[in-house]
Amino acid sequence: MKYKQTLICTITIGLLASCGGGGSSSSTSTNNNAISDPAPTSTQYVRPLAAEGDTYTFKVSHRFRYANTWDTYYRSEIYSAPNAQGLQNRAIYVSGPYSTHFTEVLDKDGVVANRFRLSYIQLPDIKFYNTCSYDPGMSSARSPYFVGQQWNVDSTMTCATPGYRADIYKEKSTGKITAIEEITLNTGKHKTLKEVFTTAETMFTSTGERPSVLSERTCWRDVSTGIYVKCNIRTTETFYDSPASSASLDGSPSYDDVNVELIAYETKSKSTAPAVERFAGPWDFSDTSGTGLSCMVVPQSNLTNWRKDQIPADGNFSMSCTLANNGTRPKPVFQGKIDANGNVTLTTAQNNIEMISITGKAESLIKLSGTWSSTTGRKGNWVMTRPEN
């Protein structure tokens, strides 16, 4: 059901953003992002533009509604170079049971601007994508940030998905920067602005379904980078205009809880120790030398839905491969790992006749490359890339 697809999007990807699921693309708004009046008397913090290639990795803990257990997965972000107007892309990759990829466009003040593209990666051969427009940008604080800054925005968003009619979203967002707080994460101490805000969103779909989602969020924004380094989110959903029941039969609650924390970053100005979790998620393999090696990551048995052929968070993974002119020898399975620095090493034995090795290194957050060779003299080049669409 497309509604559930959108709900998952709102919960897991709406950590620091919002997303939609179908139709043509347009947007209107009844307000602008409002800054508190009178003028600020506290210190103002200006968000610097990210440099090309700056990356951030987050740990996400998610308890889905009507469940008492938590899923853990990871979200990695990479920034493009800003253009002359200060607009820049932020590509986001989410691993685990809700694996997906999307790109947001940020304006110079750190607000998600009028378009992004989203790819749901459900199975290797089934994908959903859409394009949404925002006018003004998505509701949030705007640089320069200061304690007391407020916003109260009503907007309409329409999203395009090929093959579907329009889904229209009515959204109301209210929020305030309430305090300066110092918090300690795995990445060290961060001086932050504490933001408390709610977003009420109702979707009107082509089938007439009208799920409503209320997100209550407390987030901490690092004053030096302008990014959220921690968020605690509670999301409550109703369907067909009927409130969700307060609890399931076993007493588990009817809302989602999502906690997000920065665990590593690499920027042009400073970096933490690298995290192997930044490579978690789906990857596609190709033999660039045309020498006949075809591989895919062995699916993880603990992933019950969505795309399962993912590199896990600890970097240990296997690939099932086919070699051209392989005769009657069985399909080899390579076992190895990628480490926090992006070094890739996998090997396999095949009938005790031919040993094959795959080695390489990460060129970026979205591309791995290297060589493979066998003890019988066969060799070639390979790349692995993140699925884009």
Confidence of residue 290 (pLDDT cuts 50, 70, 90): confident
Cα-Cα-Cα-Cα dihedral of 161, 164, 166, 169, to 10°?
A: -70
Dig out the tokens for 46 from the structure: 């200006």
6-20, 183-197, 243-257, 275-289: the lowest-pLDDT one? 6-20
Dig out the tokens for 206 from the structure: 């082509």
Cβ atoms within 10 Å, residue 303: 18
15-19, 52-56, 209-213, 252-256: the lowest-pLDDT one? 15-19
Confidence of residue 148 (pLDDT cuts 50, 70, 90): very high
Please give the residue that has the higher pLDDT: either 79 or 389.
79
Give the pLDDT confidence score for residue 115 in this predicted structure: 61
Distance between CA atoms of residues 280 and 263, nearest Å: 13
CA atoms within 13 A on the CB side of 331: 10
Q: What Cα–Cα distance (Å) separates residue 303 from each residue in 54, 295, 316?
A: 29, 20, 15
pLDDT in tens, 121-144: 444 445 556 677 766 666 678 899
127-136, 296-305, 358-367: the lowest-pLDDT one? 127-136
pLDDT higher than threshold 50 for residue 105: yes
Q: Of the ranges 100-114, 119-133, 246-260, 276-290, which is most confident?
A: 276-290
Residues whose CB is less than 8 angstroms from the CB of residue 195 and which lie 6 or more positions away in sequence, other chains included: 140, 141, 175, 176, 177, 178, 217, 218, 219, 220, 221
Sheet with 333-338: list strands edge to edge.
Answer: 284-287, 379-385, 367-374, 354-364, 343-350, 333-338, 316-323, 293-297
Confidence of residue 304 (pLDDT cuts 50, 70, 90): low
Give the pLDDT confidence score for residue 153 in this predicted structure: 82
Distance between CA atoms of residues 231 and 233, nearest Å: 6
Q: Of the ranges 113-117, 137-141, 225-229, which is most confident?
A: 225-229
Give the pLDDT confidence score for residue 374 in this predicted structure: 82
Give the pLDDT confidence score for residue 296 in this predicted structure: 87
Confidence of residue 181 (pLDDT cuts 50, 70, 90): very high
pLDDT higher than threshold 80 for residue 361: yes
**Average pLDDT for 53-78:** 90
Distance between CA atoms of residues 333 and 276, nearest Å: 22
